[in-house]
A and B are shown apart, each in its own frame.
Chain A
Amino acid sequence: DAGVTQSPTHLIKTRGQQVTLRCSPKSGHDTVSWYQQALGQGPQFIFQYYEEEERQRGNFPDRFSGHQFPNYSSELNVNALLLGDSALYLCASTHRDQGTQYFGPGTRLLVL
């Protein structure tokens, strides 16, 4: 049973560029959440997708957007990258009735 997978594992971008991160949920899961974990901090909630709609959003600017596909996989897009966007981006999946979020290994983004 494959767990949550994310790609790429590492990414280096420059300020002002755009980036797309990808996530495949655990088998049987239909809900995907994205978190940003800055160095030395706990993960911060970005948004959650269910039935291809953004269901809940944290305190992140509109530069952060997402998408969920019919197969439940998801993308996180960040436009106009800032140095402060450098972080580990975590994807978590769950089944709507279960509640426990299972995390992928993350994508480490470095903005130069």
Chain B
Amino acid sequence: AQSVAQPEDQVNVAEGNPLTVKCTYSVSGNPYLFWYVQYPNRGLQFLLKYITGDNLVKGSYGFEAEFNKSQTSFHLKKPSALVSDSALYFCAVRDNAGGTSYGKLTFGQGTILTVHP
């Protein structure tokens, strides 16, 4: 079974400061890892993904994430936060067991990011 944990319900940062939103995962095979962002009353917007290769993944709007296999983590980062980054962030995992390129995403509970002016 695959699972995702986002240990922080809320993260608060000042505008211009770096931000980190934490995510750890559990899968039986190799993980496909994703970050999505959700604005109020909206669907999920894809930010970035890790499939294989470089452990540092760059995505949309200046976000990046670092894959750490030994710690089974995939933390989302941004060097300089903007007020407009304030939203709900979800980490998700898909198990690549069997080599499938499809299948369900398992999401964490979400982390509310608030960036203060």
Contact = CB atoms under 8 A, between A and B. Distances in A.
B102 A48 contact: yes
B43 A99 contact: no
Contacts, number: 65
Interface stretch (A13-21, A67-75, A78-86, A100-108): A100-108
A100 B48 CA distance: 9
A42 B109 contact: yes
B31 to A, nearest CB: 12
Contacts of B102: 31, 48, 50, 55-56, 94, 96, 99
B42 A105 contact: yes
Contacts of A35: 105
Nearest to A108: B41
Interface string A37-63: 000011111001010000110100000
Given A45-B105, A48-B104, A94-B102, A99 B94 contact: yes
Contact of A99 (B90, B101, B109): B101
A97 interface: yes
Q: Give the interface size class of chain B.
A: 20 to 34
A28 B2 CA distance: 28
Contact of B110 (A42, A50, A102, A106): A42
A60 B63 CA distance: 34
Interface in B40-63: 41-46, 49, 51
Interface of A: 4, 6, 31, 33, 35, 41-45, 48, 50, 55-56, 58, 90, 92, 94, 96-106, 108
A104 B44 CA distance: 7
Interface in B78-113: 90, 92, 94, 101-110
Given A42-B90, A42-B107, A97 B101 contact: yes
A99 B46 contact: no
Given A42-B110, A43-B107, A100 B46 contact: yes
Contacts of A45: 104-106
